[in-house]
């Protein structure tokens, strides 16, 4: 018998750690399970899928899993609108592969930029079939945008405004899908959303985890509001992927933890965005191309509604 490799050992061990049997059995019982898993690639999970005629948006397209997501959706025939913080970065990314891609500028800390980007997308006058909220940051130190903590602004609030301004275009699609990229790190935010101090000054949990909890709650409330339409919203954890997001992090990935490559890291969001098996699936959390029960805090419908209301208040002057 061949000895198990270190990579295979880490895959098996990580899988056992994040996917307990009861979670598979009890959560999202009506959602189809796929044969894909931790080492599946974005190309593999979309094999045979024809996205010709569909329009997709991917935020943070110029590097990491955002780049791979854009590349694979374009490979399958979609017209992909890729956002980057500068038009040069977006153009450079779009020029590296075949397929129809349109770069646009989106600076999530600048709500005027968010509005301008959404209006540029709206000017294309097409339904939005896929909207992947992928862009994100991870910092080691406390940073703010105005009076708000920066992770909360970039990872959640900027995307909240972007989705809000494009939501009617997603609903207008035959089967619009919104995919919000969260993280298993949301489980560390055991104190919930710090509604009384969104500056981050008094936070006792990592700001990144706090913002990822906000991503999940945003998706949950959005899914509730989309009930009765053909559109859906789901949240995904891409896995631990060695990307540029770690460049400012105090803690680097544990070398003994299995790290996905970019093709594997983009798989779950491509699967949830495009696979026919998930038609009509709404309001769930996916890990390794299958539903997995999130923390109790990320299933708190009351907190999700409150976050929505607070987010609307914070960006009120920028809403359509």
Catalytic annotation, residues: 208
By residue count, the chain amounts to 320
With a CB cutoff of 8 Å and minimum separation 6, the contacts of 16 are none
Q: In whole angstroms, how far apart are CA 307 and each of 157, 208, 235? A: 10, 16, 16
Closest CA to 215 of 194, 242, 237: 237
With a CB cutoff of 8 Å and minimum separation 6, the contacts of 273 are 56, 69, 73, 130, 132, 177, 179
Give ∠ CA 235-131-267 in degrees, rounded to 5: 60
Contact 162, 180 (CB under 8 A): no
Cα(263)–Cα(125) distance, rounded to whole angstroms? 31
β-strand pairing of 130-133 with 148-149: unpaired
Cα(317)–Cα(320) distance, rounded to whole angstroms? 8
Closest CA to 55 of 102, 87, 90: 102
Query: What crossing angle do the helices spanning 64-75 and 87-94 adopt, rounded to 10°?
Result: 50
With a CB cutoff of 8 Å and minimum separation 6, the contacts of 248 are 137, 138, 139, 140
What are the phi and psi torsion angles at 239 (to 5°)?
Answer: 105, 175
């Amino acid at each position: 018998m061949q000895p198990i490799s270190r990579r295979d050992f880490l895959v098996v061990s990580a899988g056992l750690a994040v996917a307990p049997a009861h979670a598979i059995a009890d959560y999202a019982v009506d959602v189809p399970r796929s044969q894909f898993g931790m080492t599946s690639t974005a190309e593999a999970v979309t094999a045979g899928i024809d996205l010709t005629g569909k329009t997709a948006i991917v935020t943070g397209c110029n590097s990491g899993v955002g780049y791979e997501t854009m590349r694979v959706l374009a490979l399958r025939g979609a017209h992909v609108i890729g956002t980057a913080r500068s038009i040069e970065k977006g153009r450079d990314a779009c020029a590296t592969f075949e397929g129809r891609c349109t770069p646009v500028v989106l600076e999530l800390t600048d709500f005027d930029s968010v509005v301008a980007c959404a209006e540029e997308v709206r000017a294309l006058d097409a339904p939005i079939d896929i909207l992947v909220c992928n862009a994100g940051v991870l910092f080691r130190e406390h940073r703010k945008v105005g009076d708000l903590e920066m992770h909360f602004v970039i990872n959640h609030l900027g995307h909240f405004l972007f989705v809000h301004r494009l939501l009617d275009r997603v609903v207008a699609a035959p089967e619009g899908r919104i995919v919000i990229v969260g993280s298993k790190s949301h489980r560390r935010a055991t104190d919930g959303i710090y509604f009384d101090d969104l500056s981050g000054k008094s936070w006792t949990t990592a700001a990144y985890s706090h913002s990822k909890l906000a991503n999940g709650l945003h998706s949950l409330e959005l899914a509730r509001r989309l009930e009765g339409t053909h559109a859906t919203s789901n949240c995904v954890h891409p896995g631990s992927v060695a990307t540029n997001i770690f460049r400012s992090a105090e803690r680097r990935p544990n070398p003994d933890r299995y790290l996905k490559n970019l093709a594997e890291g983009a798989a779950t969001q491509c699967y949830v965005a495009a696979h026919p098996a998930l038609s009509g699936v709404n309001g769930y959390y996916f890990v390794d191309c299958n539903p997995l029960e999130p923390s109790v805090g990320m299933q708190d419908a009351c907190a999700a509604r409150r976050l929505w209301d607070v987010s609307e208040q914070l960006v009120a002057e920028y809403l359509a």
